[in-house]
Chain A
Amino acid sequence: NAGVTQTPKFRILKIGQSMTLQCTQDMNHNYMYWYRQDPGMGLKLIYYSVGAGITDKGEVPNGYNVSRSTTEDFPLRLELAAPSQTSVYFCASRNPGYYEQYFGPGTRLTVT
């Protein structure tokens, strides 16, 4: 099992550009999550999904969109990149009934 994979690993965007951060898991987990991590601020939840076709906002959803068409994939879309979205983004998944979340390796995004 590859676990949770994320692409790209690094990306530099110009202000106003758009991009999609990809996340795929091969553990057949229903629950998937997107977090952003900023220095000294911990992990903030952006969006989460409890299964294909079902998504919900987390603590910091503004400026982002998600979709969940399959169990495996949970892409995160940035429509109009802003410097405030410079961060490291982590995708995670979880099996129902279990507390542990499995994290991907992250995408480091810089918006200039």
Chain B
Amino acid sequence: QQQVKQSPQSLIVQKGGISIINCAYENTAFDYFPWYQQFPGKGPALLIAIRPDVSEKKEGRFTISFNKSAKQFSLHIMDSQPGDSATYFCAAILSGGSYIPTFGRGTSLIVHP
């Protein structure tokens, strides 16, 4: 059972465009939603995260939008740059347990110059 569904699987954007990656979750008990960024040959690294008591969080060009009623959240990358080309994973965490993330399957983003 896939508890966090991520789409699209791959995304190609022109430099300066907006990249949007979507995730949907099923368990309403999840209370922390991070996004990880992974460059080729490297391990994932935390990019930005949000708690369900806010609808949006922005850090530089990266924004998470959160819709609690729809059980969906998305990552928006404004003014996308070739250096943003990477794989992005959304995740959902239940803090009452052992803080183990349930990861989406990942989105491969390519930003063309």
Residues 37-77 of chain A, each 1 if its beta carbon lies under 8 Å from chain B, else 0: 00011110100101000001010000000000000000000
Dominant SS among interface residues on chain A: strand
Complex: how many Å from CA A25 to CA B98?
19
Looking at the assembled complex, report how far the CB atom of A25 sits from the nearest CB atom of chain B, in whole angstroms.
12
Residues 25-57 of chain B, each 1 if its beta carbon lies under 8 Å from chain A, else 0: 000000010100000011111100100000000
Assess whether B98 is in contact with A103, with CB atoms less than 8 Å apart: no
Complex: how many Å from CA A104 to CA B44?
8
Assess whether A92 is in contact with B99, with CB atoms less than 8 Å apart: no
Looking at the assembled complex, report how far the CB atom of A9 sits from the nearest CB atom of chain B, in whole angstroms.
9
Closest to B95 in A: A99
Assess whether B42 is in contact with A105, with CB atoms less than 8 Å apart: yes
**Could you count the A-B residue pairs with CB atoms below 8 Å apart for me: how many are there?**
49
- What number of A residues sit within 8 Å (CB to CB) of B? 22
Assess whether B103 is in contact with A103, with CB atoms less than 8 Å apart: no
Contacts of B34 in A (CB 8 A): 99-100
Known: A99-B32, A99-B93. A43 touches B103 (CB 8 A): yes
Assess whether A4 is in contact with B98, with CB atoms less than 8 Å apart: no
Assess whether A4 is in contact with B100, with CB atoms less than 8 Å apart: no
Complex: how many Å from CA A48 to CA B9?
27
Complex: how many Å from CA A11 to CA B105?
25
**4 extra A-B contacts, CB within 8 A, seeds A58-B100, A90-B43:** A42-B6, A43-B101, A105-B42, A106-B41
Which residue numbers of B lie inside 8 Å of A, CB to CB? 6, 9, 32, 34, 41-46, 49, 89, 93, 95, 98-101, 103-106
Q: List 16 A-B contacts (CB under 8 A).
A: A4-B43, A31-B98, A33-B100, A41-B105, A42-B89, A42-B104, A42-B105, A43-B101, A92-B43, A99-B32, A99-B34, A99-B95, A103-B43, A103-B45, A105-B41, A105-B42
